[in-house]
Structure 1
């Protein structure tokens, strides 16, 4: 990235950054936490215990990075207010069936949707018309996204 071309991060305001990061890691294979716990610790939780990080400070934010380096970094920041009950003005499309058509595409979209529902998503609606077939889901905190 050159200085005159801005990069891009995706940022979610949410109640539970850890849960949201783990959900989106499943929804977007290839994303992971940027670093494992420091040497000598099996988990970040054990590191936090050893460093006396207060419980209420342990889930303020999470970061996911694309291990291939080609997609934007995703941040999850804890905020006190709940998700508003109105429609998102911006959403993500999970491209689960690139290069597929017909029944094979539909099957891939449905199996991806089932996996995400098992992980905490809900199906908001299914679009099946002249413009195509896709599913609109909500993540565990109600943010809409499409499986296309």
Structure 2
């Protein structure tokens, strides 16, 4: 996988937000470095105080084709609309041009809401199709397409 692209999220709770995005994207938590059985073991060996174990988190595409997502703890909360956002497609085969997947997108939105996301608004456009603007549990906007 080409690591020139990494998506970084500022977060209040990197572990919890990473868990949400793992579910949303079908990603997994990045494995600890070679020689360590867990991140807890790794961080302890590195001498990082336990109260800092949630300073960062990384999730990866288990197939190795998607970008790594790094979540870093920041003290401030989100205060404005994202200038960049993710478009998240439905799991499975990509849609064919013109295919309407309104029911599938709405169902997936419900699944993500159960994980802590919130629905902002729906869009239905003859050219661009149907999508739902959502927010992850920390308020970051993304589109479900």
Could you say which TM-score interval applies, normalised by the shorter chain?
A: 0.7 to 0.9
Contact kept? 2:44, 2:50, Cα under 8 Å: no
1:123 aligns with 2:89: no
Following TM superposition, by how much is the alpha carbon of 1:129 offset from its aligned partner in structure 2, in angstroms?
3.3
Q: TM-score, normalised by structure 2?
A: 0.83
Deviation of the 1:99 alpha carbon: 1.6
What secondary structure, in the 3-state scheme, does the structure 2 residue paired with 1:124 have?
Answer: strand
- After TM superposition, the structure 1 = structure 2 runs for residues 104-115 of structure 1, keeping only pairs within 5 Å, are 105-115=101-111
Q: Is the 8 A contact 1:32 1:67 kept in 2?
A: yes
Q: Structure 1 runs of 4+ off > 6 angstroms?
A: none
Deviations 1:83-114 (A, max 9, x none): 11x22110000011722522xx1111011111
**Which runs of 5 or more residues in structure 2 are unaligned?**
none
Shift of 1:54: 3.0
For this pair of structures, how many residues does the alignment match?
Answer: 137
**Residue 83 (structure 1) aligned with residue 87 (structure 2):** no
CA distance in 1, matches of 2:110, 2:69: 23
Asked if the contact 1:62/1:76 (under 8 Å) is kept, the reply is yes
CA contact (8 A) 1:48 1:58 kept: no
CA root-mean-square deviation: 2.4
2:10 aligns to what? 13
Gaps of 5+ in 1: none
**TM-score, normalised to structure 1's length?**
0.81
CA–CA separation in structure 2 for the residues paired with 1:49 and 1:75 = 17
Equivalent residue, structure 2, for 1:95 = 89
In structure 1, the partner of 2:20 is 23
Distance (Å, rounded) in 2 between the aligned partners of 1:123 and 1:99: 22
